Amino acid sequence: MKIDIRKDGHKHSLIELEKARPISQIIKGSGIDRNQVLSYKINHTEYVNEDYLPDGDTLVNCITIRHPEGYRIYQDTAIFILAKALHTLLGGTHSLVAEHSIADGVFCEVFNAEKFSMEDVQRLKAEMQRIIESDLPIDRIEVSRSEAIDIFNSMHRKDVLKNIKYHYAETVSIYKCGKYYDFFIRPLADRTSFITQFDIQYQEPGFILRFPSGEQMKLQEDFVLPKKVFALHQEHDKWLDILRVHNISDINRLNDNYEISQFILVEEALHEKKIAEIAANIVQNKDVKLILIAGPSSSGKTTFAKRLSVQFQASKAKPIIIGLDDYFLNRDRTPRKENGDYDFESIHSIDLEYLNLQLTQLLAGEQIELPHYDFTRGIRRRSNNFVKMEKDNIVIMEGIHGLNNDLTSSIPEHRKARIYISALNQLNIDNHNRIPTTDCRLLRRIIRDHQYRGYSAEETIRRWPDVREGEEKNIFPFQENADYMFNSSLTYELGVLKKHAWKELLNVPSTSSAYTESRRLLRLLSHSKDIDDAQVPHNSIIREFTNGSVFRY
């Protein structure tokens, strides 16, 4: 038999065997450090441990923390160890909630216990370190649904029980370490010792479980809290407290009780109220004439810009919308990446000199002709679209570099306002199973790419790491430059996105490197009940990705 060994998806070696041997023995002679491998992915379809015995020609992908899937395994395993440590220190009456990502970690809170202090954080960190150094096995076991219910009843895990009772029929896969049990929908590492680096940063009202960077496998020494993004998360959390919704089971309950329509109206009203507040604050400042909107892919920037324009008009301001994409350099001047591909996401792919010249002229009251970029030919052309600023006009420009000071360096700071928009999801499967913000954006993009660009889910998933790399480089470092922030996430959206994404995800072939990611997203969506598109207002940000929006794109 032939064993095709890869490391994080890259070809490594091809080994021929006369008889079957466990992966641990196969890898031993390959030169791959087993201590760095968090899990083994077989034929793009399933995760196994090193005791797995291939029974024929097999592709074995060794997944480390440097791979996006490995990074998720590392994070979830660290959360599992954190939960076990808390269970040891506090017993089973408390409730740990891993709420949302922030900076290089996950913000967590502990409920049904004394207020968490700095001293508690130090005790927790020490107990986690003890568990890791003990090199304890983390076993994945199959139990009957009734056994799982008994286990999590005894642990007072109502959040898990709601999920199991709805979603699982006969058997449930759970994880066991010593006498501690937990439920995770994604795979964990086989042993506690795989978590080589972590830290816990006290952050009232909870703490942040920090992880090393996936690329360098190193924990940054200096922690810097992105205060504005954290405040936005906390604001959204207060909304969810008022609405009494934190997990998917809560949305499913509203759906079952025919209360979802009212919930959607309230949540969309909160969006509209926030947009109106941003518009009102900007209009009050008579000096501000240039609005820059930026955010990661599939955040709903275009719909947000259009809804903001409506609010400006309601305040008697007349918006002029400028497309940043029309200021791309001609293709022969576009910078390239190290692999030779055009780097369209670099700020240097924009004709900064020409953009600043036109913005300066426009804000000075001069008439300009807006450019039009021909993406087919890769050249900028004339548009015969002339604009001139009047007293009540305000310019809106949306693009990924809006928060970067280099984009509009010629425009005085008091003349512009920057808005950061992102879909900061805080709805989770249960208290320990987060739904990463990137998952919601990826699902949005899969749907939009299929409906409007003709891309398959497989193509979108395979492109996603490059998109994320561009965001890490060009957007996230500048997010704290924003004057205003808007969370475009809608707590109910998974129920709407599910039916649009489901078929496309099912079409990803098992031979594709995108297969396990498509199955992971299907497992995530399977926890949510369908919500009819008819329930979604026609000016909703979700309509940008599905269909039926009142806005033209």
Q: What pLDDT, on the 0 to 100 scale, is given for residue 31?
A: 85
Q: What pLDDT, on the 0 to 100 scale, is given for residue 222?
A: 86
Residue 72, pLDDT > 90, answer yes
Terminal alpha carbon distance of the chain: 53
* Dihedral, CA of residue 202, residue 208, residue 211 and residue 212, to nearest 10: -50
Site of tokens 């759906």: 255
* Whole-prediction pTM: 0.91
Query: What percent of the chain lies above the pLDDT cut of 70?
Result: 99
Residue 169, pLDDT > 80, answer no
pLDDT band per the 50, 70, 90 thresholds, residue 116: confident
- Residue among 418, 407, 394 at smallest CA distance from 483: 418
Checking 434-437 for CB contacts under 8 A at 24+ apart, the result is 434/79, 434/98, 434/99, 434/100, 434/101, 434/106, 435/248, 435/494, 435/524, 436/72, 436/101, 437/100, 437/101, 437/489
Yes or no: say if 480 and 228 are a contact pair by the CB < 8 Å rule: yes
In whole angstroms, give the CA distance from residue 514 to residue 37.
Answer: 20
Q: What pLDDT, on the 0 to 100 scale, is given for residue 135?
A: 97
Continuous H helices in 168-226:
none
Q: Minimum mean pLDDT among 39-48, 297-306, 351-360: which range?
A: 39-48
Residue 369, pLDDT > 90, answer yes
pLDDT band per the 50, 70, 90 thresholds, residue 392: very high
Q: What pLDDT, on the 0 to 100 scale, is given for residue 34?
A: 85
Mean pLDDT of the chain, nearest integer: 93
Per-residue pLDDT, averaged over 526-550, amounts to: 95
Per-residue pLDDT, averaged over 517-536, amounts to: 95
- Residue among 395, 421, 146, 408 at smallest CA distance from 304: 421
For the chain, domains (ranges, CATH) are 2-64 (3.10.20), 69-225 (3.30.980.10), 230-544 (3.40.50.300)
Residue 214, pLDDT > 70, answer no
Per-residue pLDDT, averaged over 114-125, amounts to: 91
Most confident of 16-20, 158-162, 542-546: 542-546
In whole angstroms, give the CA distance from residue 499 to residue 492.
Answer: 13
Q: Nearest-5° angle of CA 316, CA 320, CA 321? A: 130
Residue 418, pLDDT > 80, answer yes
